[in-house]
Amino acid sequence: MKLYSTTGAPNPRRVKIFLAEKEIEVPTQEISIMEQEHKEENYKKISPSSRVPALVLEDGTVILESMAICRYFELLNPEPVLFGNTELEQALIEMQSRRMEMELMMSVAGTFRHTHPAFAKLENQIPEYGKIMKKAAEKRLFLLNQELENNQFIAGPKYSVADITALCAIDFCVPAKIEISENHKNLHRWIEEIKQRPSSKIM
């Protein structure tokens, strides 16, 4: 088994944090996006779309997509439960995980990809689109702050995979130059609490 990952990239980081919370160690090979190693033929044989991360099992089966990889390890190692125990927990975690990915992470990533100078050689940048994505990210951060008023974690009273996705998106706000308002006190409380977890240090 081998995990192909990229240090600092939000999606590979989600998997690494998930594995750390589960205390699972997997042999890992670094793929540099900035050096365009994800577009090399050897890697494209594993991931034809050039996406990272990728998990290659011992029989050669390849699992792509961060959440698919996390679900695989959740079933192999159920404790601690990060996708929920009860039907309601699982539904709420799935809901919030999707919202954090589709509404927050994609907006932050879109901002970075279309406005950061370092990404110009990898992306056909459209600065106006980047500005639109930045506004979308700021709006979602505002809503998230409201949601956290009555919740300790993203999907309720328990830490879950939804918190992992949110953390990776919010930390990526720094290179994307998206500021989190000082008025978002609930969000800052959540960030401070999440940062106490050792897994949050993993990049």
The pLDDT of residue 118 is 87
Residue 203 belongs to a domain: no
Residue 82 belongs to a domain: no
Quickly list DSSP for the chain. Answer: -EEEE-TT-HHHHHHHHHHHHHT----EEE--TTTTGGGSHHHHTT-TT--S-EEE-TTS-EEESHHHHHHHHHHHS-SS-SS-SSHHHHHHHHHHHHHIIIIIIHHHHHHHHHH-GGGTTTS---HHHHHHHHHHHHHHHHHHHHHTTS-SBTTBSS--HHHHHHHHHHHTHHHHT-PPPTT-HHHHHHHHHHTTSGGGG--
Does residue 122 register a pLDDT over 90?
no
Residue 41 belongs to a domain: yes
Whole domain around residue 93: which residue ranges? 87-198
Which residues, including other chains, have CB under 8 Å from residue 169's CB and lie 6 or more apart?
10, 100, 101, 104, 105, 108, 109
- Does residue 12 have a cis bond before it (omega within 30 degrees)? no
> For residue range 185-196, what is the model confidence (pLDDT) as tens digits?
999 999 999 999
The pLDDT of residue 61 is 98
The pLDDT of residue 101 is 98
Does residue 105 register a pLDDT over 90?
yes
Does residue 119 register a pLDDT over 90?
no
Q: Based on the fold, state whether residues 19 and 115 are members of the same structural domain.
A: no
Q: Based on the fold, state whether residues 62 and 100 are members of the same structural domain.
A: no
The pLDDT of residue 134 is 98
Q: Based on the fold, state whether residues 137 and 190 are members of the same structural domain.
A: yes
CATH of the domain at 42: 3.40.30.10
Q: Based on the fold, state whether residues 67 and 110 are members of the same structural domain.
A: no
Q: Based on the fold, state whether residues 72 and 109 are members of the same structural domain.
A: no
Does residue 58 register a pLDDT over 90?
yes
Q: Based on the fold, state whether residues 192 and 140 are members of the same structural domain.
A: yes
Q: Based on the fold, state whether residues 108 and 70 are members of the same structural domain.
A: no
Query: Which stretch of 119-128, 171-180, 187-196 has the lowest confidence by average pLDDT?
Result: 119-128
Q: Based on the fold, state whether residues 115 and 68 are members of the same structural domain.
A: no
Are the beta carbons of 98 and 66 closer than 8 angstroms?
no
Number of domains in the chain: 2
Q: Based on the fold, state whether residues 29 and 91 are members of the same structural domain.
A: no
The mean pLDDT of 64-75, rounded to a whole number, is: 98
